[in-house]
Every structure is written in C-alpha cells, then in structure tokens.
Chain A
Amino acid sequence: MRILLDNFSKSFGATKVIENMTLEVGHGEMLALLGPSGCGKSTTLFAICGIHRPTGGRILFGDRDVTDLPSQARNIGVVFQSYALYPHMTVAENIGFPLKVKGMATADIRKEVDRISGLVHIGNLLGRRPAELSGGQQQRVALARALVRKPDVLLLDEPLANLDAKLRLEMRSEIRRIQRETGITAILVTHDQVEAMSMCDRIAIMKEGEIVQIATPAEMYSDPRTAFVAGFLGNPPITFLRGVMANGVFSIPDSEIRVPLPASVAAAEGAKLMLGVRPEHFTPTGDIAVPGKVMFAETQGRENLYDVRLNGGPLLRSIQPVRHDVNIDDAVTWAIDSRNVLVFDDDGRRL
C-alpha cells in the first residue's frame, strides 16, 4: 500500500521537529529513513502510525486519508526502537496480542504465533517473558508481533540496533525476505547507512527534520546531492579536501596538490571548493599522485584502512586489499582517482 506524507509538519509545543515534509513510499517498496540522531526519524514514524497527530499536512495510505484515524484503525505493524514488549506477558502472548484484541480464537492465534515465530527463529522461546530474553531475541519478538497481523504497512524503528554483527546480517536479509514475500510496504528507520543500503529499495536521508535526498542506494552513493549525504553514506566515510578553483583545476593553496575536475563541473575561477574523495578512490592505482605520511593504519581482515596526512596538511583515507609493507609513519605516494571525485561548493552543494 502506498504511503504519502503530504506537506507533513510536526512540532512539540514550540519545538518544530518536521516542517512541510513530502514523502512518497510506493506499494511494496521498502524505504529507509536515514539520518543522524535527533533529526526526526522516529517522529515521522510515529506520525505515520498514528501515535502523534501531525500539526500540519496529510497522511495517506493508498488513497485513504488516515490523518485523523487512530492507530487502531490503521492496520500497521511497528517495531519500536525500545521494542515495547509487554513485560507481564510471555513471548507467545506478546506476539499473539494483536490477534487477541481482534477477538481471534485462541487456537487460531496459537497457529499464527507458531508460524510467525518460526519465521523469526524464536519458536523455542515462546514460554519466556521479555525479561528473560537477550536484546536480539526481544527484537525478534517485536518483529514477530509487528508481522503477525499481516499489516498493510510495516514500520521499523532501528530494529537491528541491538543485534550482534552476525545476527544483524542474518536479520537484514531475513527482514528483507519477509518484506518481499509479503509485499508489504515498509519504512525502516536507521542511522546505520550499511543497513539502509543493503535492505532498502530507496533511501531518504534526513537532516534536522528535512529530507535532503531520496534515491536508490547506488544512486545515492555515486551521486550524492550534498556533502552531508556523501559523508553519511559509505563506510569508511568519505574524506574532504578544501581548496579553490585555480587555473581550471582544484588546488589547495600552499601545496602542490592539483586535481583536474570532471568536465561537468562548472566553477568560477577562485571559488572555494570541497573535494570529496572516497577511500576506494585514493589508492596506489589512481591518476593524481599525492605524497603523504601514514598516520593511522587498521586492518579490517580483507582490507586495510589508512589515514594519510598529505604534505599540505589535509587528511585522506584509503582502503586497499591487505598488504603488509606499509606501516604508521611511512611516507607513501598514492594517487587520487580524479574521475570519481565529488565536487561540492563551499556550502556543501554538489557541483
């Protein structure tokens, strides 16, 4: 079911959290709301599920205006950031609760609970209470409870934040699989860009209550509209060089670093620029060689990560296949891949 936020605004008293946001999530689509802490992700989600009434604008499910409908009438499943499990109920009772309040027969509830708990691998925990579960187990119970009533819309508020790395990977594909199979429209709130990129059809990046950019993960990565977006996607994150337009190339004053810019970039002579260089575009194989000193080296197993201080002062990050010949304080001359640099103006707008 399509979700449309039409000019949606939300403020708490004098605090304006969201102003005039418009966002459309297509039927069966999974959208990530990605942004730093406090940018209004949960607030948006709460408005969609009817817990917060918007202070302005409309919310539509399909063609139905649900702006003034209470949560109970919206048929949504929500996994809350804090799980919000009922501590006095067993896992089975927690999962079955949405069905119980619908008045479904006990035997049918049990069948549904068994089915859904198998799906999220907690079939063996049904008799326990939430206090007797680990964080990850609680999260899966919350997911099961959100899914059990076959909602039209699934809202996930950081559903994987408390899982260990392996379980997180597993659950990522699990949630995605369930979402695809059920054809449910889903919104995933997260501040983990990897999660957003790997699970969702599209990503909406939020900053201070505004959506900065909506795009598919690949587009968003290769074609960020602002420096903020570029900085938010990618792990390890992008690094920026500050400089000016001089003689048609990007140059950092008081240093030899000169980087030719892609033809599409139009900047006036002398304009202040920011050059975004992703770690994978600063390697021994690029075309613009720059000398520097290794300040920091870290191995991530398959790859190594280096922070290199250039002779002019600025820092670049590099990611390379594992090698053992470079250590901290070594002088290196690696090269920037000038075809893949991202150019921003002084305000962070992409050029």
Chain B
Amino acid sequence: MKTSRMLGLVMIAPAAIMILLFFLMPVVLTGVFSMTNMTTATGISGGAYQIAPHSLNDLKSAMPEIAEQMSQPRYTIDEVGLKAVEGLGLDPGIATELRAKHMGEVFPSRREVERMIKGLDQRPSTPDVKKISEQFNRSVVNSRFSSKEELFSVLDTLGFTLTDGQKNSVADVTYTGWNWTTENFSRIVSSPDMARVLFNTLLYVALVLVLFNTTYAMLLAIWTHYMPSAPATIFRSIWLLPRITPVVIYVLMWKWLAWDTGFISVLMGKFGYEPKNYMLDNAYNAWVFVVLINGFIGASMGMLVFSSALKAIPKSQFFASEVDGASRWQQIRYIILPQMRWPILFVTCYQTLSLLASFNEILLSTRGGPGKATEVWSLAAYHTALNNYAGNLEYGLGAAMALVLVVIGIVLSLGYLRIFNYGTLVSRPLIED
C-alpha cells in the first residue's frame, strides 16, 4: 500500500514539476514583478543611493531646510583635500599651514572657505584661492553611495545634523532601486490610455472571433461539407496555409500587399491614386488589416473543428432530412447548426483566450499603429515591459498588465469549464418504460 502510494507520487512527479516550472512559476513571477515599480532605471537587482537634484527637489516639500543645505556645496578641510592641494604645485607652505591650523574644519559656503584661505600666512593669489578651495568641495549633490550606512556616515562627517527619521527620508528619496508597490494597478485602472487599449482589445477579440473564427470558419466547413471530397480536401488545405505559413512570412506578404510600392498601391496607381502605405494610412485601414490577418489565420482552426464535427453527424441524418423534404438551407438551419453548439462554444472559448494573449501578428504588421490605434492589451504589455521607443522599460507595470490578462484568462477558463461540465451533466440518462 505504502510503496504503491510512493510509486504513484514518483510517477506524477515529472508532471508536477513541469506544471510548477512552466505553468505556475511564470504566473507567480509575473505576480511578483507586478507588485514592484521596476524599470530600466531601477534595474531588477537592488539599487544605490544617489543624491540627485531631482531627489532633493522631492525632499524640499518635507524638509525644506535640509534640502537647501544639501543642495549647497560644502567645504571640509581634510586629508584628501590637503593631498590634492600639495599636488597643485603651489607653495608647499599653504598645505602645511592648512593642515596645522584648519584640519577638520567645515565651511558651509564657498565664500567662507575662501575668506579663510585668503587669510592664510602664505597669501595665495586670487586664482590660486579658487583652485585651493575647489579641492575641499565636499558637496553631496550627485554623489552615489552603495548602501544606506555609507550615505548616513558621509552625511554625518559632512556635518549635517539629522534625526533618524530625516535620515530615512533622505535615504528614501535618493534610492535608485525598485520598491514594492501597488501603484501599477491604480495606474492601470485610472489611465485613459489603458481604457483605450482595453477598448481596442475588446474590439479586436470580438471582430476576429465573430467574423472569422466562428462565422467564416463555419461557412467554410459547411461549404466544403457539401462539396465532393477531393475538392473539399483541396479547399481545406488552402485555408490551412495561413496557419502553417511562418507568421513572419505571412504578415510580410500582407505588408507587401499594402505598402506604398506594393500591390494595392500599384493597382490604385493605375486609377491615378497616389501610392501610400494602405495598412498604416489611417486607423480604419489598420483595423481592417489586423482583423483580416488574424482572421484568416484563426479561421482555419474553427474550420477544422467544425468540419470534423460535421463529419461526426451520421450521414443518415442528412438522408433523412432530405427525404423529409428539407432544403439545403433548412438542413443547415435545423440539422447542422443545432448540433454545432458545443464545437462553436469550444472554438469561441479557445479562440478568445488565444486572441487575448497573442499579439505577434499585430506587432509584425502595424506595431499597434498608426499611433496607438491598434494597440491591444498584450501588445501594450509587451511595449511597456519589453520594447519601446523611449527606452525606459517598465517591467513592473508591464507585469501588472500581463497579470490582468492572466486573471481574465483564468476567470474565463473557469467559466468555460463550468459551461462544458454543465453540458455533460444535463444530458439525462437513458430512461426505459
């Protein structure tokens, strides 16, 4: 008993590991990323502390004085500065005197340190005073620290008097790494861009699904069903071509058709129209092409599913309906379509999910353009997180967008599974009487 259970576990282990690695992990990682504000700037490992002008700006509202102080240069007479002064090739007495009389002193402004230098016994000339004072400039602006501790100790030695709370505020605003945040989601909810992308997505899924993946696929299936089998096979194969052609090549053919030296332009040129890129000329055209490209690829699956479902209807039902007087249209309406309910539902479910997730055809054809006219959710996530012109990739936001897709997908799948299970439940058992 025990060994058989062990054996069972061993047997399912590979499957469990696969599920964990390839199904669960990506989702979990997406979830983790979506809760951060990672970007190209923050990197995905930890960051550093950099007192950049913009971080001091941020600090101004909370701690105006400290921000002001930190933005000013500061002058500290220290060993490093003295060494540098010695290297300037001036009178060595200057360095010696500074070391003897002023070691460790901090001057809050250039004016004060220069007054002190001018008052030295050696009396350096005015240009030299400038050179010397520069060696002691210990301004914190634009300096970078790899850890909080380093930042704090430097602040201390530079003579800033800060409470622990203030120190932490400084650390926060100067941190260049990523943080945990839920901001991505509030951005998704509130951004009008996202609303536009959502609308595009719904339009895209609905148009392709309704026009091509189901209706057109059904037309093809029924059409080939009534054909003699040899031409039917040929037609089905032709309709499979978009599916089996590598998508890059397939989309390239569409682009060739549409671009300004392409087929349409040449053809329209004969009628005196200026050549132009018909695909990207306006949003309306772009949509037509996006729907056609995806539609012709997607219709093939529905056609196959519907064709085989049609084949599964016993021939005798067609014979019977003919004998019963049904015209071809009545046969389709009353015999075929009612029995296609499950295949249609299946194709709808499957294609909704794959349309939601796929963007390669759009990326290859319109890149979401013109403007963002054909930018759909998954493409927007891709652009946000992995590839955009601005160069600042927002991994966190992109992950959050992907997560939204994942959640929608899971919810839809669960809903579909329920429908399918329900379907098997409602077929009642055979009752004899």
- Cβ-defined contact, A46 with B325, below 8 A: no
Q: How far does the alpha carbon of A80 sit from the alpha carbon of B319 in the complex, in Å?
A: 9
A102 CB–B CB distance under 8 Å: yes
Instruction: Determine whether the beta carbon of A98 is less than 8 Å from that of B325.
Output: yes
Number of residue pairs across A and B with beta carbons under 8 Å?
76
Any A CB within 8 A of the CB of B143: no
- List the A residue with the shortest CB-CB distance to B320: A84
Q: Bits for A78-97, please: 1 = Cβ < 8 Å to B, else 0.
A: 10101111111100000001
Contact with A along B317-356 (1 / 0, CB 8 A): 1011111111100100011001100000000000000000
In the complex, the answer to whether A132 meets B324 with C-beta atoms within 8 Å is no
Structural contact, A101 and B327, CB atoms closer than 8 A = yes
**Is A47 an interface residue, CB under 8 A from the partner?**
no
- Please determine whether A134 and B334 come into contact, CB atoms closer than 8 angstroms: no
Give residues 215-244 of B contacting A (CB, 8 Å). Answer: none
B316: which of A70, A82, A97, A133 is its contact (CB, 8 Å)?
A82
- A95-126 Cβ-contact flags toward B at 8 Å (1 or 0): 00110111000000000000000000000100
User: Within the assembled complex, what's the spacing in Å between the Cα atoms of A51 and B320?
Assistant: 9
Chain A residues with CB under 8 Å of B339's CB are: 87-88
Which residues on the A side are within 8 Å of B325 (C-beta)?
71-72, 75, 98, 101-102, 149
Q: A72-B326, A87-B339, A88-B339 are in contact. Are A97 and B319 (CB under 8 A)?
A: no
Taking CB atoms, residues of chain B closer than 8 Å to A133 are: 430
User: Is A131 an interface residue, CB under 8 A from the partner?
Assistant: yes
Determine how close the nearest CB of chain B comes to the CB of A257; give it in whole angstroms. Answer: 51
Chain B residues contacting A87 (CB-CB under 8 Å) are 339
From A49, A75, A132, residue with most partner B Cβ within 10 Å: A132
CB <8 Å contact, A50 and B317: no
Please report the C-alpha to C-alpha distance between residue A132 and residue B339 in the assembled complex, in whole angstroms. Answer: 17
Q: Per-position contact with B for A118-149: 1 when CB-CB < 8 Å, else 0?
A: 00000010001001111000000000010001
Residue from the list B317, B334, B432 in contact with A84, Cβ < 8 A: B317
Asked whether any CB of chain B lies closer than 8 Å to the CB of A294, the reply is no
Residues in A neighbouring B338, C-beta threshold 8 A: 88-89
Output the nearest chain A residue to B333 by Cβ-Cβ distance.
Answer: A101
* Identity of the chain A residue whose Cβ is nearest the Cβ of B330 in the assembled complex: A101
Q: How far is the CA of A84 from the CA of B327 in the complex (A)?
A: 17
Q: Decide if B427 is an interface residue (CB 8 Å cutoff).
A: yes
B428 within 8 Å of A (CB atoms): yes
B314 contacts partner chain A, Cβ-Cβ < 8 Å: yes
The yes or no answer to B1 lying at the interface (CB within 8 A) is: no
Chain B residue, CB-CB nearest to A72: B325
Q: Say yes or no: is A188 at the interface (Cβ < 8 Å to chain B).
A: no
In the docked arrangement, what's the CA distance between A124 and B338, Å? 25
Closest Cβ of chain A: how far from B221's Cβ, in Å? 17
Tell me the bound Cα distance from A232 to B317 in angstroms: 32
**Interface flag for A4 (CB, 8 Å):** no
Residue in A closest to B428 when the chains form the complex, CB atoms = A132
Flag if B334 contacts A97 (CB, 8 Å): yes
Residues from chain B with a CB closer than 8 A to the CB of A308 are none
With known contacts A86-B335, A101-B334, A132-B428, A50–B322 Cβ distance under 8 A: yes
Most chain B C-beta atoms within 10 Å of own C-beta, residue among A46, A49, A51, A84: A84
The 8 A CB mask of B414-433 against A (1 = contact, 0 = none) is 00000000000001111111
From residue B215, how far is it (CB to closest CB) to chain A in Å? 20
B433: A residues at CB distance < 8 A: 124
CA distance A338 to B214 in the complex (A): 75
A50 close to B316 (CB less than 8 A): no
Which residues does chain B contribute within 8 Å of A149, judged by CB atoms?
324-325
- When the two chains form their complex, are residues B316 and A84 in contact, meaning their CB atoms are under 8 A apart? yes
Chain A 287-319 interface mask (CB, 8 Å, partner B; 1/0): 000000000000000000000000000000000
Interfacial chain A residues near B319, Cβ < 8 Å: 46, 49, 51, 71, 78, 80, 84
Q: CA of A71 to CA of B317 in the docked complex: distance in angstroms?
A: 13
Contact of A132 among B320, B335, B431 (CB under 8 A): B431
* A76 beta carbon closer than 8 Å to chain B: yes
Chain A 49-86, CB within 8 Å of chain B: the 1/0 string?
11100000000000000000011101111101011111
Nearest 10 A/B pairs, CB to CB: A84-B316, A84-B320, A98-B324, A71-B322, A101-B326, A88-B338, A78-B323, A51-B319, A71-B323, A101-B330
- 30 A-B Cβ contacts within 8 A? A46-B319, A50-B322, A50-B323, A51-B322, A70-B322, A71-B319, A72-B325, A76-B323, A80-B316, A80-B320, A83-B316, A84-B316, A84-B317, A84-B319, A85-B320, A86-B317, A87-B339, A97-B326, A100-B334, A101-B324, A101-B326, A101-B334, A102-B325, A124-B433, A128-B431, A131-B430, A132-B429, A145-B324, A149-B324, A149-B325
| Residues of B participating in the A interface, judged by any CB pair closer than 8 Å | 314, 316-317, 319-327, 330, 334-335, 338-339, 427-433
